C-alpha cells in the first residue's frame, strides 16, 4: 500500500537556528522537515538527495480496532521517520529536508500474528544561508 500526502497528519519539527545542530534540543522557529508540496525556502542550498527507511512498532494482527491500530502505527512511523531525518540532516550539515516521495507498506507476520508499517522516504537535504538561520 503506497501513501502520499495524507492531509496534514504529520507534525513537522522546527529547524535549527544560527548555531545549527539538528539535535532535538537545539531547535528554533524554522521547520526541519518539509513534506511534499510544502517547499523549503527558495534561497536554501541543495546539499544531497537520499532515502531513509523507518518502521512502526508491531501491533496485534487482528481485525478488531483496525483503524485505531493503523493510526497508532502511522503516528509511530512518522515519529521514527522525523527522528531519522533529523539525524541525516545533522550528518550532512544541513538545516532542513524536503521529503518529495514516500511509500508506506503494511507488513504482517502470520507466525507472530503481528502487523506494522514500513516506510521509505526520498528527501533532499538543504542548507539555509547564514542570514536566514
Pick 122 or 14 by higher pLDDT.
Answer: 122
Beta pairing partners, 51: 122
The answer to whether 33 touches 96, Cβ cutoff 8 Å, is yes
What pLDDT band is residue 132 in, cutting at 50, 70 and 90? low
The pLDDT tens digits of the residues spanning 12-32 come to 333 333 333 444 444 455 799
> Residue 60's Cα: distance from chain center in Å?
24
Plot region of 120 (φ>0 → left; ψ -120 to 50 → alpha; else → beta)? beta
- CATH topology for the 14-132 domain: Translation Initiation Factor IF3 (3.30.110)
Write down the pLDDT at residue 70: 87
Rounded CA-CA distance 88/125 in Å is: 8
The pLDDT tens digits of the residues spanning 62-88 come to 756 778 888 999 999 999 999 999 999
Pick 123 or 11 by higher pLDDT.
Answer: 123
What pLDDT band is residue 61 in, cutting at 50, 70 and 90? confident
The answer to whether 119 touches 99, Cβ cutoff 8 Å, is no
Q: Does an H or E element contain 92, and which?
A: helix 66-92
Beta pairing partners, 59: 115
Beta pairing partners, 96: 126
Domain segments of the chain as ranges: 14-132
Amino acid at each position: 500500500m503506497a501513501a502520499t500526502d495524507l492531509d496534514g497528519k504529520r507534525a513537522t519539527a522546527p529547524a535549527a537556528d544560527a548555531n545549527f545542530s539538528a539535535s532535538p534540543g537545539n531547535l528554533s522557529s524554522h521547520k526541519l522537515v518539509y513534506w511534499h508540496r510544502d517547499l523549503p525556502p527558495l534561497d536554501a542550498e541543495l546539499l544531497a538527495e537520499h532515502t531513509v527507511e523507518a518502521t512502526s512498532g508491531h501491533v496485534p494482527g487482528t481485525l478488531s480496532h483496525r483503524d485505531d491500530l493503523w493510526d497508532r502505527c502511522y503516528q509511530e512511523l512518522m515519529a521514527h521517520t522525523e527522528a531519522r531525518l533529523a539525524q541525516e540532516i545533522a550528518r550532512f550539515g544541513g538545516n532542513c529536508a524536503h521529503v518529495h516521495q514516500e511509500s508506506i507498506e503494511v507488513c504482517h507476520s502470520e507466525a507472530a500474528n503481528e502487523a506494522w508499517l514500513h516506510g521509505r522516504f526520498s528527501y533532499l537535504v538543504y542548507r539555509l544561508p547564514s542570514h536566514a538561520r
